[in-house]
Structure formats: structure tokens, C-alpha cells
């Protein structure tokens, strides 16, 4: 599995598999992450739903907690300033569709193939930003530390970045988007996302 797919699949697994409670889970962001895991696990293991129904429900649930606009801006980096309002909207929509599709399938697989532990480790990054940490152990024995970077909006904590063993999801995407924008332009990059998704565009052909 390449770095991009690992960075996306591992966090998806975190949301979808049984979680051993950490000794300290008192902060609201940690409590929310635990609830996210429990809820999506119930969806993934609901035998009365087919795969598409599960994906639709997981998508609806994830939409509440992923800030696609901020993730998109961070993933593109400086070129984001060159996007028109319409291009930003089109990019966010296409990027969201790609992320949620990959996320949902990984979550369904992860419900059976991995174990996750919510760690007591916790970092506050300013007034409303926090890092919440989990440990993922996959079926083949690999182990990852996954840090969710969240910011508070009212009573909800929204994800704006994820780090797997210290490697940032938005940084990995940014490297690929920068190459795509150089070669295909902004509209061409959006079209790549719409047509086949970034994971199939790694050759930048």
C-alpha cells in the first residue's frame, strides 16, 4: 500500500473498529472520537444493510465531523489563493466525493480487520485546536499512531488534518496536487478528481 492509501485507509479504520477505552478520555474531543467509532462500527456491522446503504450512512455521519473546505485549502496550499470561488466549490465537491468513497470502503474493511486503542495522549494547539491520538494494529500485525487534528465549532470537533506516524495527510495530498496543477491547471486537476480520483492519477498522465 502506498503512502497516500495508507494515510487514508488507516484513519478510516480508526473510525470503524472496536476501540479499547483509554485511561483518560475526559476531554470532549476524545469522547466524541469514541462515539464516532462506536456509531460507525454499528453501521459497518449492520447485517440488514447492503454495502451501498452502509456507505451512504457512513458518509452522512462523517459529513458532520470532516471540514472538507479546510482540508481542501490545506491540501492545495498556496495555489488555493488562485482558485476562483466557483473553482473552490467544484474542487471541494470533487475532493469530498473522492475522500468519502475511499473512506467508506476502508471503514467497512477495517471493521473486521483491525483493532484500535484510543490513547490518553492529548495535545492542545491554541484556544480551540486539539490533537487526539489513537493506536491502530492491522490484521497483518502492523502498528500505527494516528493523530486527529481537530478544531472546535460550538460543541462539535471537526477534523482538518490527520497524521499517521507523524506524516500529514494534507501534506501528502499537497505534493500531488501541486504537480497536477502545474501540469493540468486548476480546472484539469478538478476534472481528474471528478473522473477517476487522485489515487488513479498518481502517474499524472
Please state the φ and ψ torsions of residue 139, each to the nearest 5 degrees: -60, -35
Instruction: Please name every residue paired with 162 in a beta bridge, in sequence order, or none if there are none.
Output: 148
What percentage of the chain exceeds 90 in pLDDT? 36
Burial tier of 51 (Cβ tally within 10 Å: 0-12, 13-18, 19+): exposed
pLDDT digits (tens, 9 = 90+) for 5-61: 555 555 555 554 545 544 445 789 998 988 887 787 788 778 899 988 988 888 888
Question: 28-199, superfamily in CATH?
Answer: Tgt2/MlaC (3.10.450.710)
Residues 122 and 132: beta-carbon distance below 8 Å: yes
Q: Which residue has the higher pLDDT, 146 or 107?
A: 146
Indicate whether 183 pLDDT > 90. Answer: yes
pLDDT digits (tens, 9 = 90+) for 53-71: 988 888 888 888 889 999 9
Please give the pLDDT value at position 105: 66
Q: Which residue has the higher pLDDT, 178 or 205?
A: 178
In degrees to the nearest 10, what's the CA dihedral of 41, 9, 169, 73? Answer: -70
In which residue are the cell numbers 495555489 written?
A: 79
Work out the average pLDDT over 102-130. Answer: 76
Work out the average pLDDT over 106-125. Answer: 75
What is d(CA 135, CA 148) in angstroms, rounded to the nearest whole number? 11
What is d(CA 186, CA 63) in angstroms, rounded to the nearest whole number? 25
CA angle 61/155/65 to nearest 5° reads 25
Please give the pLDDT value at position 9: 54
* Alpha carbon separation from 172 to 103, 144, 148, 169, 175 (Å, rounded): 16, 17, 15, 5, 5
What is d(CA 9, CA 19) in angstroms, rounded to the nearest whole number? 16
Amino acid at each position: 500500500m502506498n503512502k497516500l492509501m495508507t494515510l487514508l485507509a488507516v484513519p478510516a479504520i480508526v473510525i470503524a473498529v472496536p476501540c479499547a477505552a483509554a485511561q483518560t478520555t475526559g476531554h470532549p474531543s476524545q469522547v466524541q472520537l469514541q462515539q464516532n467509532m462506536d456509531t460507525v462500527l454499528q453501521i459497518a456491522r449492520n447485517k440488514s444493510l447492503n454495502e451501498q446503504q452502509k456507505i451512504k450512512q457512513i458518509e452522512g455521519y462523517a459529513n458532520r465531523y470532516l471540514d472538507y473546505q479546510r482540508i481542501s485549502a490545506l491540501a492545495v496550499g498556496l495555489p488555493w489563493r488562485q482558485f476562483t470561488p466557483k473553482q473552490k466549490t467544484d474542487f471541494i465537491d470533487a475532493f469530498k466525493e473522492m475522500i468519502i468513497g475511499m473512506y467508506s470502503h476502508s471503514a467497512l474493511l477495517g471493521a473486521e480487520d483491525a483493532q484500535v486503542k484510543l490513547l490518553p495522549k492529548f495535545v492542545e494547539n491554541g484556544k480551540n485546536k486539539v490533537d487526539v491520538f489513537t493506536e491502530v494494529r492491522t490484521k497483518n500485525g502492523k502498528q500505527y499512531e494516528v493523530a486527529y487534528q481537530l478544531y472546535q465549532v460550538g460543541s462539535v470537533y471537526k477534523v482538518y488534518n490527520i497524521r499517521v506516524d507523524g506524516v500529514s495527510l494534507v501534506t501528502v495530498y499537497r505534493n500531488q496536487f501541486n504537480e497536477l496543477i502545474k501540469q493540468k491547471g486548476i480546472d484539469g486537476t478538478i476534472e481528474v478528481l471528478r473522473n477517476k480520483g487522485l489515487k488513479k492519477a498518481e502517474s499524472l498522465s
